[in-house]
Each structure stands twice: as C-alpha cells, then as structure tokens.
Structure 1
Amino acid sequence: MFVDDSKEAAAPSTDVSAVAALDEPTRRRLYDHVARQTGPVSRDEAAEALGLARPTAAFHLDRLAEESLLDVVYERRSGRTGPGAGRPAKLYKRSSREVTVSLPERHYELAGRLLAQALEESEVTGEPVRTVLQRKAHELGRQLAGPRQTGVFALLEGNGFEPRYDGDAIVLGNCPFHALARDHTQTVCGMNLHLLRGVLEGLDGEGLQACLQPSPGHCCVRLQPAS
C-alpha cells in the first residue's frame, strides 16, 4: 500500500474482502439501494424497499458497514429531543471510501497525483515539470521508507513490486504503473526510478542502488549492489 503525505491507501487484501462482500446478491441489492438515496437509510426502510425481512436487511447492512462500504450514523427521526425522545435510529449511507482491486497490483491514482502535483508546482515556479515530478517521486519514496524501518524487500513486496532476488540484486516482477510506463516510458520510468531511489535513501541504502535496466517481464528499475 503506497503512503503519501495525505492518506494511506487501503491494503489490497482489505479491498478484495470488500469486493467479495458484494458478491452476495441480496447484499449487493442493499448496497445499490443505499447508494442511490440522498440521505441515510434505516433498516426498516431498506427492508421494506427490497421486500426483505428486517433481520435479513440488518445482517447484510451491518456486513457492508464492517467492510467500510457503508457508514453508520445515528439520528432521531421523530424530530424530538430531550427525555422521552427515544433512542437515535441506526442509519446507513454510502461510505466515502473508494475500493479498487487490480491484479497484478496497480497504482495509477498515485501516478496521477504525482503528475498533478508536478504540473501545479511547475506552473507556479516555472521549474520544468519533469524535474518537479522526479523530486516529488523521490520525496514520496523517502516517506514510504518512513520510521517503520522495514527491509527494502518487504517494503517493495508490500507495495506491489513483486521483488525477486537475482544474485545480490533485486529485480521487480511487477510495475505498479505498467500501462502508463508502456505508453509514456521516459516520464513514468523516470518517476519510478526516483521513487525507488527515495526508498533506498530513506532506508540508508541497504547497500543497493536503483538503476534503469528494463528487461522483458520485469519493471524497468533494478536494485543492484552499490559500486
């Protein structure tokens, strides 16, 4: 899961679980119904709208909430307050969380965010977009390393690069920016190179250096022993 200065993305396994929860037909109907409403929906309202028993609707609504596909809010529908107003009703609304699953793992949103940041800063400072992009990617790489002090192999594995040892070097079996790198090779591979250089810098190098060395079936960046 890539982490930047604004948010942490959900782990891929969590997103897979959320998508799997929608495979149940009744649960998917409930999710679609809640998502179409302009305001929160109660269990009774959902059950009546879909012709379900209330316990059935409650079970599936709570499962959707557990997967963070729905948010739970509590409101008094009577409009009364104070003693005798009754307990607030448990209501459901669509979550603001975004769920994306891709196999192999891809992170196109991250690339888009870096490119947008680079363009905006370039317009303000006049610095070339590519230069800003590479700096932003390097900064993000250092943030990925962060204070967690995980090893470079584990960090790469956790972010979808599918690292493999090749002697003393590490090759990357997957590029999280594959389609972009294929169509915009120089820009995206350069961004990726500086991202991984930032990771190594944040991890004090671990005796490795990142270099561009494209080969069939691998990411364009290879981590090899520093000379």
Structure 2
Amino acid sequence: MAHRSRAERVTSVAALDDPTSRAVYDYVSLASAAVSRDAAAEALGVSRRIAAAHLDKLADKGLLTVEFRRLHERAGPGAGRPAKLYRRAADEVTVSVPDRRYDLVASLLAAAVTEAVGTGAEVGETVNRNAYDAGRAIAAATPDLLEALLETGYEPHRSDGGLLLSNCPFHRLARQYTDLVCGLNLHLLRGMTDDSPAAFRPVLDPAPGRCCVRLEGPGPVG
C-alpha cells in the first residue's frame, strides 16, 4: 500500500472517535471471518441501517475492506444478491505529532541487511544507496519538492541560503543511531533533490530542534 498523506491518516483515525464506529471496528477486528451488516447489527444491538452506515464509513476511511459473497449454497434464479461483507484492513494506520516515518527507515534498513547478507556487500553502503533510490522514487511520485518534503515529514521552511527542515521523520532512531540514520537521511534527501529544478544541495548540519540535514541553495521551491 502506498504511503497515505498525513491528512488521510488523521481522517481515518478520527473516524474511531465515534463510540459506535469504534465498537463496529472492534467487532469486525475480532471476528474470525468477514462480517455482514446483519451480524454487526445483531452483535451491537443497533439497527441494520446504523450498522451499515458505520461499516461503510470505516471502509471509506480505509480501516475496513469490502467483499461480496453469498452466505448460502443456492445459486441461479432466486438465489438473491451476494451479501456485502467487511474485514479489518491489513494495512495499519498510524498518526504521530510531529510526523514520523519509522516505516520508511525500517523498510530501507531491512532491505539493505537482506541484500548485504545475500551478496556480501557492505551494509552501510547498501543502506545509503537504497536510501538514495528511495528518494528518487519519492521525487518521481511527487515532483514538487516542497510537497514531497512535507509528505515525507520534514516540515521545510525558508532560511538564509536555503531550507531548514524543522522535523526529523526518524527522530528517535537518529538519537540512538546518529551516524547510521543521519547518513541514510542525507542520501534520501540527495535522491529527492538531485533532479529538482529548485537546485538545493543537502548538507549535514546537525543542530538542536531540527533535522540533521539542511538544504543549501538559492533556488525557488517547486
């Protein structure tokens, strides 16, 4: 599943603030099979219409998936339409304030270790190469540099001589494994900026309260 924007993730989690929606989600999550509207209504003591509204809302927010299947063996004329059934979505939805991307750094590190074990390549070099490639993929998917930085969690703002990144998407890991994660971060941002018309150059420049990398250059963003 592609990374969802922060706004989408906040909206998904906010759907569970409603007590009935949360009860419906919990019921579907604990069920051993896909759940029908009738089953949810009976289990929660609400009308079928209310159960259906909450199930569809949770599906629309990406928290449940939908499938259609007959609940009996009859087929042909008179068998009726397949029932609409719901399961919990396999993909997790996480929201943090400020935004963190531990999923991204975990994927990069796991891929690098797997490659290094299989080929004998040096792990650090493999991490940095994979991070650079990931940055290029992010830039290809979101060509506007400012938007790409925001969606990756960096919170960029203008400063003399370039952009400062107010947030580190890998904050906790960067504090524990500074050299590894800051190096990964630098190469990720190089991949994101190399083909950008904004002509920014990522440089390591650690300082309290912001990302360890800043983007140096006078070019306009976007």
TM range (shorter): over 0.9
**Secondary structure in 1 matching 2:169:** coil
- Counterpart CA distance in 1 for 2:58 and 2:89 is 10
Identity over aligned residues, as a percent? Answer: 47
Of 43, 47, 51, the residue aligned with 2:37 is: 43
Q: 1:219 is matched with which residue?
A: 211
- Structure 1 stretches of 4+ with a deviation exceeding 4 A read none
Q: 1:72 is matched with which residue?
A: 66
Structure 1 residue 126 displacement after superposition: 1.4
Paired residues in the alignment total 218
- Counterpart CA distance in 1 for 2:51 and 2:141 is 44
Q: 1:116 is matched with which residue?
A: 110
Q: Deviations over 1:62-120 (max 9, x none)?
A: 11111121111111112111111111111111112310101100000110110011111
Structure 1 residue 143 displacement after superposition: 1.0
Matches within 5 A, 1:43-192: 43-146=37-140, 148-150=142-144, 152-192=145-185
- Counterpart CA distance in 2 for 1:72 and 1:54 is 17
Q: 2:199 is matched with which residue?
A: 207
**Secondary structure in 2 matching 1:39:** coil
RMSD: 1.4
The normalised TM-score by structure 2 is 0.93
- Counterpart CA distance in 2 for 1:77 and 1:8 is 32
- Counterpart code for 1:73: E
Unaligned runs of 5+ in 2: none
- Counterpart CA distance in 1 for 2:86 and 2:148 is 36
Q: Is the 8 A contact 1:71 1:95 kept in 2?
A: yes
Matches within 5 A, 1:11-30: 11-30=5-24
Structure 1 residue 154 displacement after superposition: 2.9
The normalised TM-score by structure 1 is 0.91
Q: Is the 8 A contact 1:197 1:210 kept in 2?
A: yes
